[in-house]
Structure 1
Amino acid sequence: MPVPHGSPGSLTLDPALRADADQAVRVLRASGEVHVWWWDLPARTDPDDLALLNTAEYERALRFHAERDAAGFVRAHASARRALAGLLGVPAAEVDLGRRVCPGCGDGSHGPPSVLRPAVPLAVSLSRTDGLGVLAVRAGTWVGVDVEARRDVRADTLAELVLSESERRVLAGLAPGPDRDAAFHRCWTRKEAVVKAVGVGLIGTELTALEVHMEDDGPVAVSHSHQGVNTLWSVSDLDVGAGYTAALARPDRSATGPVVLHPPV
């Protein structure tokens, strides 16, 4: 089994590579672009993926009970490094990932993902579902992405727990079946994308008070409130292939640049 590259003792980078990374971020900031990658998740762990993980990620991968879940986690984090490496012009092995402090409770163990090396001001968000992983990256502080494999859902039961009153009315107006399931998934991924962009997650949000305008094609403006702080987000639906629903959230004031999609090769 390959040995992970580990969390480096120094987060410094070769000056030439650091200059390339800094320039890439400047271009990204000037364009306002958000870059989105997605990839299939394997059933078994790939040794080449595992070799890119740091020690903390390696140890977390070992704690998964199901091989498929471990393989998905490993592929997602390795693929995120490869995508960031291509964006920043550095080798994948020189990219290290960690977590930011949770803005809700101040805990550093479950905050949003961050790029530790190169130490550049990028916002990143990762999401996994059955068979697919998605990464969103933008220059700045916050971004959120969520993806869900479409499946039959008990929308009536879940609606009371996660949908606003107006969202429940929209859902009730749809006949049971694929269209209704698609509408629920659209609503759910939008909510997930917002709470991940805010950084507090599902636990820190009253989902029935988070209105994501499921009847509108978007982009839509979504207001989020947490501990007396109100923020506004621009939320877009993403096309990541048949059988999946995905959404992207970014600060409304910065939602002026295009979303650049990088389909799997």
Structure 2
Amino acid sequence: MTATPAEVQLWLLDARIPQPELDLDVLDAAERERAGRFFRAADRVLYTVAHAGLRAVLSARTGLPAAELRFEREPCPCCGELHGRPRLAAPGDAPAFSLSHGGGLVLIGLAPDATPVGVDVEALPSAATARETMTSLHPDEQAELAASLAGPTPASFARVWTRKESYLKALGTGLGRDPASDYLGDDPSRHPDAWTITDLPVGPAHVAAFAFARPRATFTLHGTLPA
């Protein structure tokens, strides 16, 4: 019998517009201190919406009050230090989650269980940034980008980059792992075994992806937070 595919829940929020349903008072002292360090007001709002939104999602899943959630880091697979994947410091079987914010958008990913998940959302980079950064990609990814009829465009580069970022976040390494180590180009059959790595529809000015450490996973993309 074929197993039912696991479903990843995703939330996409636009921090450039008011989010009246969010309670920003749930942030803890460390989150407030970090938000206060941003020079640009838009960056402070983006960070605040992202972390309050994550707390709302996790509160709805766990039944714990959003303001009482506490977070910790898993050991990094590269060095063993405690700066790997974030996780809930809570008793019981807490779900895995991932958070990304960029270009005014927030993306939250929630696994059905403790299986690693990673998300990434980015505004389209400039053509110069795409050309410069693509040299850090897997050699076959670079070749694919260079061989396309339009050449390495910001959108084609960013699709590869968000797949890679989401995968590295799910691994818990981030960019501590060489971005050239893994192929996440346009041939899904060559992606890491037993993973689901999927592009997400987030509009013409942004790109996004999620990675989940199971094959055949599905997803639901929500535009509003759980009640």
Fold in common (TM above 0.5): yes
1:259: which partner in 2?
219
Shift of 1:91: 4.0
Shift of 1:233: 2.9
Task: Mark the CA change 1:111 to 1:45 in structure 2 (over 3 Å): closer, same or farther.
Answer: farther
How is 1:217-236 mapped onto 2 (pairs within 5 angstroms)? 218=188, 222-223=191-192, 233-236=195-198
In the aligned structure 2, how far is the partner of 1:72 from the partner of 1:173? 36
In the aligned structure 1, how far is the partner of 2:138 from the partner of 2:6? 31
Shift of 1:45: 11
- Give the 3-state SS of the residue equivalent to 1:196 in structure 2: helix
The CA deviation string for residues 214-262 of structure 1, in whole angstroms up to 9 with x for no partner, is x23x5x5533xxxxxxx753211111333211111111xx233421211
Work out whether 1:103 is the aligned partner of 2:77.
yes
* Structure 2 counterpart of 1:116, one-letter code: A
In the aligned structure 1, how far is the partner of 2:126 from the partner of 2:150? 10
The CA deviation string for residues 99-134 of structure 1, in whole angstroms up to 9 with x for no partner, is 3333322333x3322122465331111111011010
* Structure 2 counterpart of 1:83, one-letter code: V
Deviates more, 1:99-108 or 1:61-70: 99-108
How is 1:79-158 mapped onto 2 (pairs within 5 angstroms)? 79-108=53-82, 110-117=83-90, 119-138=92-111, 139-154=113-128, 155-158=130-133
Shift of 1:60: 1.6
Q: Work out the percentage of aligned pairs sharing the same amino acid.
A: 36
The runs of 5 or more residues in structure 1 that have no matched partner are: 1-29, 224-230
In the aligned structure 2, how far is the partner of 1:118 from the partner of 1:134? 26
User: 1:221·1:233 contact (CA, 8 Å) conserved in 2?
Assistant: no
* Structure 2 counterpart of 1:123, one-letter code: A
In the aligned structure 1, how far is the partner of 2:91 from the partner of 2:17? 31
User: 1:45·1:71 contact (CA, 8 Å) conserved in 2?
Assistant: no
RMSD of aligned residue pairs (Cα, Å): 2.8
| Count of residue pairs the alignment pairs up | 219
In the aligned structure 1, how far is the partner of 2:181 from the partner of 2:199? 20
Task: Mark the CA change 1:52 to 1:42 in structure 2 (over 3 Å): closer, same or farther.
Answer: farther
1:241: which partner in 2?
203
Work out whether 1:250 is the aligned partner of 2:212.
yes
The runs of 5 or more residues in structure 2 that have no matched partner are: none
Task: Mark the CA change 1:149 to 1:118 in structure 2 (over 3 Å): closer, same or farther.
Answer: farther
User: 2:103·2:206 contact (CA, 8 Å) conserved in 1?
Assistant: no
Work out whether 1:52 is the aligned partner of 2:26.
yes
* Structure 2 counterpart of 1:158, one-letter code: T
* TM-score under structure 2 length normalisation: 0.83
Task: Mark the CA change 1:66 to 1:249 in structure 2 (over 3 Å): closer, same or farther.
Answer: same
* TM-score under structure 1 length normalisation: 0.72
1:71: which partner in 2?
45
Task: Mark the CA change 1:186 to 1:31 in structure 2 (over 3 Å): closer, same or farther.
Answer: closer
The CA deviation string for residues 183-211 of structure 1, in whole angstroms up to 9 with x for no partner, is 10111001101110110111x21212321
Task: Mark the CA change 1:242 to 1:96 in structure 2 (over 3 Å): closer, same or farther.
Answer: farther
How is 1:157-196 mapped onto 2 (pairs within 5 angstroms)? 157-160=132-135, 162-176=136-150, 180-196=153-169
User: 1:85·1:91 contact (CA, 8 Å) conserved in 2?
Assistant: yes
